[in-house]
C-alpha cells in the first residue's frame, strides 16, 4: 500500500493525475488545465512531484502480479533526452510482444547492456533465445553451462522497435526530462501503463476491468468514486 500521509490532495486526485500523465501524451501543464476543468486547482509542479514519487513505487508493486513472459526475447534500445542530452532506454519484449523489462542508462555500451540483461533475468529467469548484440551475450554466456542462443536476424527486432513507438508517443509532449531520476521514475509509469494495455497482469476480474481500474487495483486501492 502506498503511503499518502501528509498529502494535501485526496489520493484519488493524485492517482488520476499520474495515471493520465503516464498513460497519454500530455504535459504537466495540460493536466493542470484538465484538472481545473474538473474544479480541482492543482499546480503542474505538484503533479510533477507526484509522478516522480509514486509512479516507480506503483510499478514496483505491480511486478508482483506480472504474468510470466515467453522464453524467446528481442532486446533493443531507444533514445530518451534528459536535460538536452540523449540517454538510452534498454527494452526487451518476448516474441508475442509482451514487455520483459526496461532500464534507462546514461551510456550505450556492453556494461549497460549486461546490466539490463541481469535485471531482466532476475525478474523473468533466463530466456532460451534472444535477439541482441552478440558481443554482450557472449560475455554473459561465458559463465553459463548451457549458452543462450543468439539470433541476429534483423526482422526479429521489428517487434521491439514497433513497441518502442508506444513509449515514445507518450514521452514526446514531455519535451525534456529535467533529471535522470525524474526520467527513470516517469518511464516506469509509462511502461506500467503500456503493460496494462497488453494485459500483462494477473488481477482478479481483470477481464471486466478498464485500464484505469487495473491501475488503481495495482496501486493498492479501489477505484475512485
Q: With a cut of 80, say whether residue 118 has pLDDT above it.
A: yes
Predicted TM-score (pTM) of this structure: 0.90
Per-residue confidence (pLDDT) for residue 223, from 0 to 100: 41
218/5: higher pLDDT: 218
Q: Which of 3-17, 48-62, 69-83 has the lowest mean pLDDT?
A: 3-17
Reported as a pLDDT band with limits 50, 70 and 90, residue 81 is very high
Q: With a cut of 90, say whether residue 138 has pLDDT above it.
A: no
Give the contacts of 30 (CB within 8 A, at least 6 positions apart): 173
Reported as a pLDDT band with limits 50, 70 and 90, residue 206 is confident
Give the contacts of 178 (CB within 8 A, at least 6 positions apart): 82, 83
Average pLDDT over the chain, rounded to an integer: 89
The full set of domain ranges for the chain reads 69-179
Q: What is the pLDDT of residues 173-204, one digit of tens each?
A: 887 798 999 999 999 999 999 999 999 999 99
State whether CATH 3.90.1310.10 applies to domain 69-179: no
**Is residue 55 exposed (0-12), middle (13-18) or buried (19+ Cβ within 10 Å)?**
buried
Per-residue confidence (pLDDT) for residue 7, from 0 to 100: 79
Reported as a pLDDT band with limits 50, 70 and 90, residue 154 is low
Q: Which of 79-83, 119-123, 140-144 has the lowest mean pLDDT?
A: 140-144
Reported as a pLDDT band with limits 50, 70 and 90, residue 106 is very high
H helices present in the chain, as ranges: 11-23, 28-37, 44-62, 110-124, 134-141, 158-171, 180-197, 211-218
Amino acid at each position: 500500500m502506498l503511503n499518502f500521509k501528509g498529502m494535501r490532495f485526496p489520493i484519488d486526485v493524485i492517482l488520476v493525475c499520474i495515471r493520465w500523465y503516464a498513460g497519454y501524451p500530455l504535459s504537466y501543464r495540460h493536466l493542470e488545465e484538465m484538472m481545473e476543468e474538473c474544479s480541482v486547482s492543482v499546480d503542474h509542479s505538484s503533479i510533477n512531484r507526484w509522478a516522480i514519487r509514486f509512479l516507480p513505487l506503483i510499478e514496483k508493486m505491480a511486478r508482483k502480479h506480472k504474468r510470466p513472459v515467453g522464453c524467446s526475447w528481442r532486446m533493443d534500445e531507444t533514445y530518451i533526452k534528459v536535460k538536452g542530452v540523449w540517454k538510452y532506454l534498454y527494452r526487451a519484449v518476448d516474441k508475442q510482444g509482451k514487455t520483459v523489462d526496461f532500464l534507462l542508462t546514461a551510456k550505450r555500451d556492453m556494461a549497460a547492456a549486461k546490466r539490463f540483461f541481469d535485471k531482466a533475468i532476475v525478474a523473468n529467469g533466463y530466456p532460451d533465445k534472444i535477439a541482441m548484440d552478440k558481443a554482450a551475450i557472449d560475455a554473459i554466456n561465458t559463465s553459463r553451462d548451457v549458452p543462450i542462443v543468439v539470433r541476429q536476424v534483423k526482422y526479429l527486432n521489428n517487434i521491439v522497435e514497433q513497441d518502442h513507438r508506444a513509449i515514445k508517443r507518450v514521452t514526446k509532449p514531455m519535451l525534456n526530462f529535467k533529471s535522470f531520476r525524474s526520467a527513470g521514475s516517469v518511464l516506469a509509469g509509462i511502461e506500467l501503463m503500456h503493460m496494462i494495455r497488453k494485459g500483462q497482469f494477473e488481477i482478479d476480474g481483470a477481464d471486466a476491468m478498464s485500464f484505469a481500474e487495473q491501475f488503481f487495483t495495482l496501486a493498492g486501492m479501489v477505484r475512485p468514486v
